[in-house]
Amino acid sequence: MEFLNQLIETLKTGSGFWNPLVWVLIMIIAVLFVYVIRSFGKKQYKEKTEQTKSFLSGNPEYEKEQMRIKGSNVYWGFTEAMKWVYDSLKRMHNGNASDYVLWFVIIMSVFSVLLILVGAVV
Amino acid sequence: MNFIDYTLPLIVALPLFGAFLTPIISKISEKIRNIFAIIILLITTFLVFFLAQDVFTNGPRIYIFGDSNLNIPVVRILFEADGISMFMAIISVSLALLGVVYSWSFMKENDGLDKFYTLVLLLVASMLGMELTGDLFNFFVFLEISCITSCALIAFYINRGESLEAAFKYIVISAIGALFVLFAVGLFYAQYNALNMATVASVLQFGFLDKIAFVLLIAALGMKAGLAPMHMWLPDSYGEAPVSVTFILVAATQASLYGVLRICFTIYGNVFAKITSVFTSSIVYWFIIALALASILIGVIMALIQTDFRRLIAYAAVAEIGYIFLGIGVGLTSLGVGYGKTALEGGVFHIMNDAFDIGLLFLIAGAVYYATKETSLNKMGGLARNMKYTAVFFIVGLLAVSGLPPFNGFVSKLLIYQSTYQLNPIIAIIAILASILLLAVFVKVFYSVFMGPELPNLKDVKEVPKSMLVVMGAIVVVIIIFGLFPNLVINNIVQPATNALINSSSYVSKVISGVI
């Protein structure tokens, strides 16, 4: 009985709550709702006809293999806009083991100064 | 003594024993060797769950190698099992067992598998040793064994220069980190003439040398756990090791994370609770939170531009480590009271979720490599047509790691977000935005690898062998169960672990009374 209670119990997070089973139930209802709306769709729609052809501002449609966007080009706009961040992060990740150790020394030094020197004064 | 009294040493001794027997059994038959490694880990897993059930019900257990009478000057080593050590041991053995089963098919075309299985079993023994020892020097010894075995496993593809370079970087970083751990242990021994964690915790003064030791331990173990900006070794190592090794390395990294928890809560917990200077204690908490935020942001931002499948997941793993440390840092601010307790529960639960979610993604990357011999996202596409199961598993993994409901990652992140929001809303908002960016990262991977038109060179790709699918499927089931029934895990596994951290004084008194 206690086991079953644990299965359906609502998780209390201190300032909120979460019950995944309720969430799943709501999602099932939402899917059913969407299905009902879909059933009102136009019956004359036919797959693989002119109706489903892409319209690219009048330009011809290329073969699918040619229209593929490579992984490195996805989010190009975002990475271009954040170039200043990426330039500094790439400099940081230079693959040099000595620099890896340097970061360890920097973190240790900053923590030491904060905890031992500043902590002792304040 | 009952059988359960011997379980604690057996959990470490069994994989160690198995490791030494593996090369001999390899001479008989490769199939028997693989079965032997799986059986050893199956028994170890059974023992861990058997002991965990006892510890979660009856409290900590200790086992003393050597004389228990402190008046007799002999060398003695103490093993202890409390909620948090059993929690970590469950993660370690689960990942090790699944990793070895996955390796059967994944590694079958490679030579030198006798050494591979020997090293894997040694790595498992060292992880479990780190998590079950109650002795600081012993912790260092197991940490060293873990470093050496991990290094050898990362360099397994010895014909590849990149693997050797990654292994070199790993051993440099690990050796330096381990040396600083040893130095900190030496500081404790010089002051208190003690190496036992509980004994040190009971006499710790938080003087100048104790502060030095704390800085050394947190920095060294934080680096081993992959905390930014000391994380750079992690994408190199995770990206170059065989994927089944990377899967187990996730658990090895978390063993260092366990070390941070032990230091912060068990050894220094009482001292932090008594510190009169709010500023001094705040420095510790805020420093951990700042590093956690750096890990989250650097991990996610760097993951977005990666084109190598495994390196991308490795950066996501850095971000996930950040979320765990965020939970720990917020938990430390109020040491297990109010939202601090929720944060700690979230952080500890996220250790387990991170292991399974990130682990699953690594196994999927391995499956894709197994089928296509490619790791570059630019050279893949349309694989969902031929690898339907792997594609479905990836969808579950990406939703779980991005913290979307109803999967396990959502629950632990929710606990972390809500408690962090009470400490500082801006940090919580940054963490949520980073999680959304993480979703974007994995949507890119899903699109690049599984969607899009079928590539001519990948038309003949087939689904991976059943043993690999079974392992990935088992993890998917765990992810769904943890997500749908979070209270089952939190009440029975996570809370005993967090209670063990919060009530460190009961651990200290139990161990000391057991020794004396």
Give the bridge partners for B109, in sequence order.
none
ipTM score of complex: 0.91
Give mean pLDDT, residues B144-166.
93
Percent of chain B with pLDDT over 90: 76
Report the gap between the CA of B38 and the closest CA in chain A (Å). Answer: 31
How far apart, in whole angstroms, are the C-alpha atoms of residue B154 and residue B257? 20
Report the gap between the CA of A81 and the closest CA in chain B (Å). Answer: 13
**What's the whole-number average pLDDT of chain B?**
91
Give one DSSP letter per residue of A39-99, joined into a string. Answer: HTS-TT--TTSGGG---BTTBPPPPGGGGPPPGGGTTHHHHHHTHHHHHHHHHH----HHH
Nearest to A13 among B177, B284, B415 (CB): B415
Report the gap between the CA of B275 and the closest CA in chain A (Å). Answer: 11
Q: Which pLDDT band holds residue A64 (cuts at 50, 70, 90)?
A: confident
Q: Are B277 and B264 in contact (CB under 8 A)?
A: no
What are phi and psi for residue B479, nearest 5 degrees? -60, -45
Task: Give me the residues of A, 72-101, that contact B with CB < 8 A.
Answer: 72, 74-75, 78-79, 82, 85-86, 89, 92-93, 95, 97, 99-101
Mutation pick from B168, B305, B441 vs chain A, by most beta carbons of A within 10 Å, is B305
Nearest to B339 among A14, A93, A119 (CB): A14
Residue corresponding to tokens 């089931």: B477
With an 8 Å Cβ cutoff, are B414 and A85 in contact? no
Is A34 an 8 Å CB contact of chain B?
no
How far apart, in whole angstroms, are the C-alpha atoms of residue B156 and residue B168? 12
Residue A4: per-residue pLDDT: 81
Nearest Cα residue to B114 out of B173, B17, B26, B229: B26
Nearest to B483 among A16, A20, A69 (CB): A20
Residue B271 CB partners (closer than 8 Å, separation 6+):
B204, B205, B206, B210
- A25, closest residue in chain B (CA to CA): B406
Nearest Cα residue to B344 out of B228, B225, B482, B500: B500
What are phi and psi for residue B63, nearest 5 degrees? -140, 130
Q: Are B353 and B412 in contact (CB under 8 A)?
A: yes
With an 8 Å Cβ cutoff, are A71 and B301 in contact? no
Q: Name the strand (E) or helix (H) holding A11.
A: strand A11-12
How far apart, in whole angstroms, are the C-alpha atoms of residue B438 and residue B357? 13
Residue B439 CB partners (closer than 8 Å, separation 6+):
B398, B402, B403, B404
How far apart, in whole angstroms, are the C-alpha atoms of residue A87 and residue B238? 23
pLDDT in tens, B268-278: 988 887 775 66
Which is more confidently placed, B346 or B505?
Answer: B346
Least confident residue range of A45-54, B360-369, B467-476? A45-54
Task: Give me the residues of B, 95-154, that contact A with CB < 8 A.
Answer: none
Judged against a pLDDT cut of 70, whether residue B236 lies above it is answered with yes
pLDDT in tens, B48-106: 999 999 999 988 888 888 776 655 655 678 899 999 999 999 999 999 999 999 999 99
* Pure H helices in B30-160: 30-58, 83-106, 113-132, 136-154
AA letter at B443: V
How far apart, in whole angstroms, are the C-alpha atoms of residue A38 and residue B189? 72
Percent of chain B with pLDDT over 70: 96
AA letter at B205: Q
3-state SS class at A116: helix
Q: Is the peptide bond before B229 cis (omega within 30 degrees of 0)?
A: yes
Please state, in angstroms and as integers, the Cα–Cα distance from residue B173 to each residue in A110, B186, B231, following that order: 19, 20, 10
CB pairs under 8 A between A and B: 164
Q: Name the strand (E) or helix (H) holding B79.
A: strand B77-81
Percent of chain A with pLDDT over 90: 42
How far apart, in whole angstroms, are the C-alpha atoms of residue B507 and residue B485? 29
What are phi and psi for residue B376, nearest 5 degrees? -80, 130
Give mean pLDDT, residues B386-391.
95
3-state SS class at A17: strand
How far apart, in whole angstroms, are the C-alpha atoms of residue B247 and residue B367? 13
Residue B313: per-residue pLDDT: 95
Judged against a pLDDT cut of 50, whether residue A122 lies above it is answered with no
Give mean pLDDT, residues B473-480.
96
Nearest to B381 among A68, A79, A95 (CB): A68
Nearest to A20 among B172, B302, B406 (CB): B406
Mutation pick from B230, B288, B480 vs chain A, by most beta carbons of A within 10 Å, is B230
How far apart, in whole angstroms, are the C-alpha atoms of residue B410 and residue B405? 5
Report the gap between the CA of A27 and the closest CA in chain B (Å). Answer: 10
Task: Give me the residues of B, 169-188, that contact A with CB < 8 A.
Answer: 169, 172-173, 176-177, 180
Q: Which pLDDT band holds residue B515 (cuts at 50, 70, 90)?
A: low
Which is more confidently placed, B144 or B206?
Answer: B144
How far apart, in whole angstroms, are the C-alpha atoms of residue B23 and residue B27? 7
Residue B270 structure tokens = 């009482």
pLDDT in tens, B23-51: 999 999 999 999 999 999 999 999 999 99
How far apart, in whole angstroms, are the C-alpha atoms of residue B113 and residue B254? 25
Residue corresponding to tokens 């969902």: B384
pLDDT in tens, B265-311: 999 988 887 775 666 668 888 899 999 999 999 999 999 999 999 99
pLDDT in tens, A19-43: 999 999 999 999 999 999 988 887 7
What are phi and psi for residue B82, nearest 5 degrees? -120, -170
Q: Which pLDDT band holds residue B466 (cuts at 50, 70, 90)?
A: very high
With an 8 Å Cβ cutoff, are A104 and B173 in contact? yes
Is A43 an 8 Å CB contact of chain B?
no
Judged against a pLDDT cut of 50, whether residue B166 lies above it is answered with yes
Domain boundaries, chain A: 1-41, 88-122
Q: Are B331 and B343 in contact (CB under 8 A)?
A: yes
Residue B59: per-residue pLDDT: 86
With an 8 Å Cβ cutoff, are A13 and B418 in contact? yes
